[in-house]
Amino acid sequence: MLVTIKIPTVLRRFTGDQASVVVEGGDVHEALRDLASRFPELKTHLFDEGALRPFVNVFLNEDNVRDLDEEHGRLKEGDELSIIPAVAGGASDTRILTARELSAEEMSRYNRHIIMPEVGVAGQKKLKAASVLLIGAGGLGSPLAVYLAAAGVGRIGLVDFDTVDFSNLQRQIIHFTSDVGRPKLDSAREKIQAINPHVTVETHYTRLTSENALEILAGYDIVIDGTDNFATRYLVNDACVLLGKPNVYGSIFRFEGQVSVFDAGHGPCYRCLYPEPPPPGMVPSCAEGGVLGILPGTVGALQATEAIKLILGAGKSLRGRLLLFDALAMQFREVRIRKDPACPLCGENPSIRGLIDYDEFCGIGAPEEEGSLVPEISPREVAENRDRLLLIDVREPHEVDIARIGGAVLIPVGGLAGRTQEIDREADVVVYCRSGKRSAKAVRHLLDIGFDRVRNLRGGILAWSDEVDPTVPKY
Ligand SMILES: [Zn+2]
């Protein structure tokens, strides 16, 4: 029986750099013995007196062979064995190499890079010569900036216009509690320079728009998309395609992340994958849906890895592949994405030849208008007339655990259509949610089905906290 054994990087020096070797054997042990006989140096690394060393694991397809009984250890055609040794990380070889363009301090700082043949002095010089633009200094921008700075990327640009908020600290690790209220760019620049003074930091204190995107992006080798909204995501994609720059894409939501590299000269762009954005309101943002604090760390570190590989020209890039990460299941999956010949941007007959109005393209503005068309009531007016108003809370039950207005009836907006008979048609109804958006939709629905004394609490429970009762927590 012929089977393939995958060889990990650390052992490839014993297999003549082969990443996989075809061997013969009826069961796992015969296959490993065959491998050891072909590459005798490997034998002492894998076996101790005939037994597999405890720090080496061998997987038959997805199962550890230590967990398999004799019957299941038998091999079938097409089976794949993988050797997975324990890897401590770091490096034990402390040789210091010298090179003209890297100072002694830099040689020492980047030693664990330089002693790897895939990086070496030449690779470290490439990192120093490279420039990377991070769109956003938030959840994804934080690990990206930290790791790219530590790795020695010579020039890092940051685009952001926001200030640090308390609710950012749960995941935006480049910002500290003492930074709350400061511009994110000031806070991020300070940390990057504290990590690595050899990095030049360029800050672009602005919202990225169709007017400034080409000019800002043109100055960098690689663009990394750390945005949280569709308008900027399409803007970054389009600008990268028009400028011929690779776009390292990452997105996060609750417990799930996506990573890819869009590089239209060598593969698909974001529009090949998603030609159009979802309608506004269909996909909640992290501000509405939440995000596990560590998730941008995982996804941002993956994006930083892809950026460094692009700079080094090493390994296999995520071009044409979309990596999906599920933190709850702790699973990575990968799907192949192809360049769409009909893509309006990077296809054979492109119809988009310049940047467009991305707010309009993504339908932004419509929900606000919808909200402003329904009758509203101020928090203060509700407080003054509390006794004669019927308050309907259209948020989700877990939000009520965080903050509530006493006496309100909970009917989550998703179930409202089936529960309208619970609402007294003679009452003066006030509907509220967190910020006033969902409740505006609910008010619109109630007006449409004949309720005529319904109003929306302007600004939601957030405004209630600001204007009426500051003991109600904001979230
Ligand atoms: Zn495309």
Under CATH, to which class is 2-85 assigned? alpha beta
Q: Ligand 1 centroid to 355 CA: how many Å? A: 14
Distance 138 CA to ligand 1 centre (A): 27
Q: Measured between alpha carbons, how far is 176 from 128 in angstroms, rounded to an integer?
A: 27
The pLDDT value recorded for residue 159 is 97
Block residue for tokens 């409202």: 416
Catalytic residues: 286, 433
Cα 243 to ligand 1 centre (Å): 14
- All residue ranges of the chain with pLDDT < 50 are 89-100, 366-371
Which sequence spans correspond to the domains of the chain?
Answer: 2-85, 130-361, 374-467
Contacts of 189 (CB under 8 A, 6+ apart): 158, 201, 203
The predicted pLDDT at position 375 comes to: 92
Q: Which CATH number fits domain 374-467: 3.40.50.720, 3.40.250.10, 3.40.50.300, 1.10.10.10?
A: 3.40.250.10
Element (H or E) spanning 52, and its range? strand 51-52
Task: Identify whether the C-beta of residue 235 lies closer than 8 Å to the C-beta of residue 364.
Answer: no
By DSSP bridging, strand 155-160 and strand 131-135 are parallel
Residue 310, pLDDT score: 95
Query: What DSSP state is assigned to residue 68?
Result: -
Closest C-alpha to 410, from 425, 396, 424, 398: 396
Same CATH topology for 2-85 and 374-467: the answer is: no
- Give the distance, in angstroms, between the CA of residue 224 and the centroid of all CA atoms in the same chain: 11
- The contacts of residue 423 (CB under 8 Å, 6+ apart) are 390, 392, 409, 411, 429, 446, 451
What is the 226 CA–ligand 1 centroid distance (Å)?
19
What does the pLDDT read at residue 96?
32
pLDDT of residue 281: 63
Q: Alpha helices of 249-363 — where are they, by DSSP H?
A: 270-273, 286-289, 295-312, 358-361
**pLDDT for the residue numbered 445:** 87
pLDDT of residue 101: 77
- Separation of CA 347 and ligand 1 centre (Å): 6
CA distance 393 to 390: 10
| HSE-CB of 249 using CA atoms within 13 angstroms | 31
Residue 365 per-residue DSSP state:
T
Q: How far, in Å, from the CA of 174 to the mean position of ligand 1? A: 33
The CATH class for the domain spanning 130-361 reads: alpha beta
Identify whether the C-beta of residue 223 lies closer than 8 Å to the C-beta of residue 306. Answer: no
Q: Which residues contact 274 (CB under 8 A, 6 or more apart)?
A: none
Which strand (E) or helix (H) includes residue 462? helix 460-467
Name the phi and psi angles at 52, rounded to 5. Answer: -65, 130
